[in-house]
Homo-oligomer: A and B are copies of this chain.
């Protein structure tokens, strides 16, 4: 066994080329890679203006809004910063839902940038109970905005966004702002219908591109409020960005290849149909959830997200063994998964469902996780796990997976 494994290590492709089951960056579609590999033009050309116009137009239906969607050369965290400094003034009070690493980040960011932060701490793996938000809003009637993740990526937990938005608007005139980086484009999030004021996204998630573009979508109300923000901002200033966008341009130099990749994928997302896309992601996550029990794993979150699944490793496994499992999945099976963060290092596996992945990729993943758990001496019923996953994926049979069209 050992010598076979040794062979594997050299025979297999390097870690950097492994298939990405991470919750971002994700597997890039072959067609997008081709566009990225040939789009090296200048950003002040008629050709690029047509790309900008197409992208800004097509982002609206994907964000399910009639409002403006801005694209800036930054990461998701940069877009989170852009959203709050464009809408809020220093000293203003915000309620931040902190249910994991990314909630913690938004709270810390808002505090650093001079806002008054009231945090709702939610235990990791749990969704925010709407009643808790109601209570917090009543305690802080001077609050100007509620900030929450749609999906807290570190725990793969989905918050009840529709209900939270409703409570927010029923009780206050607060802005309801969501970090939808691990959500928008991969699950139903009707921004206008649910009256979400701000939706933040990023290129390396449902948009299946490399990191480098951040998105900020604004409701008409939010857009009007941008004009009131006293936060100092230059690079992230959306009012100035809008002036450039009106001319079919971006304000600064643009990552032209990423924009062209975005143009390519948005057209295909709309053609494939958002409903079909959401179903694909949802079935992938359900398949992995159903495979968990036969593999001897538990679903970590009490409110699992369709975009990423966190699986608790067996209690009998040490954190070191948990980390080793991830390494083996990379070196033996050519699959990159995410582990846990902070106290969850070595305790959970996180499987993303957003990239250019097929049903078969997910079956291979189930099989690979089962194999490595078995080799490590854990009880695993691999055939049952595969059967459960396969049945779940049946509705996708005979269809092309999005991002994997031949």
Residues of chain A at the chain B interface (Cβ within 8 Å): 14-18, 20, 22, 24-25, 27-28, 33, 36-48, 73-78, 81, 90, 108-109, 112-114, 202, 204, 210-212, 232-235, 237, 252-258, 330, 336, 338
Contact = CB atoms under 8 A, between A and B. Distances in A.
Given A36-B257, A76-B253, A212-B255, 12 more contacts: A18-B41, A20-B40, A24-B253, A40-B210, A41-B336, A73-B73, A74-B235, A77-B253, A210-B257, A211-B254, A211-B255, A212-B258
Nearest to A231: B232
A321 to B, nearest CB: 19
Q: How many copies does the complex hold?
A: 2
B42 A336 contact: yes
A234 B74 contact: no
Contacts of A204: 253
Given A73-B78, A232-B113, A42 B14 contact: no
Contacts of A258: 210, 212
A10 to B, nearest CB: 15
A255 B75 CA distance: 8
Residue in A41, A47, A256 with the greatest tally of chain B CB atoms within 10 Å = A41
B211 A47 contact: no
19 contacts: A14-B47, A15-B41, A15-B45, A18-B41, A36-B37, A40-B210, A43-B211, A75-B253, A76-B253, A77-B252, A78-B252, A90-B232, A108-B234, A112-B234, A114-B232, A202-B253, A204-B253, A212-B258, A232-B232
A257 to B, nearest CB: 5
Given A45-B336, A212-B255, A73 B74 contact: yes
A28 B40 contact: yes
Secondary structure at the A interface, as helix, strand, loop or mixed, is loop
B43 A16 contact: no
A237 B109 CA distance: 11
Residue in A45, A48, A108, A114 with the greatest tally of chain B CB atoms within 10 Å = A45
A392 to B, nearest CB: 26
Ranked 3 nearest A-B pairs via Cβ: A16-B41, A37-B37, A16-B47
Residue in A24, A25, A237 with the greatest tally of chain B CB atoms within 10 Å = A25
Contacts of A17: 38, 41
Residue in A18, A25, A235, A257 with the greatest tally of chain B CB atoms within 10 Å = A235
Nearest to A113: B232
A20 B39 CA distance: 12
Residue in A16, A43, A73, A252 with the greatest tally of chain B CB atoms within 10 Å = A16
B75 A252 contact: yes
A101 to B, nearest CB: 12
Nearest to A21: B42
Contact of A256 (B25, B38, B109, B233): B25
Contact of A112 (B232, B330, B336): B232
Given A211-B253, A252-B77, A255-B212, A233 B112 contact: yes
Contacts of A77: 234-235, 252-253
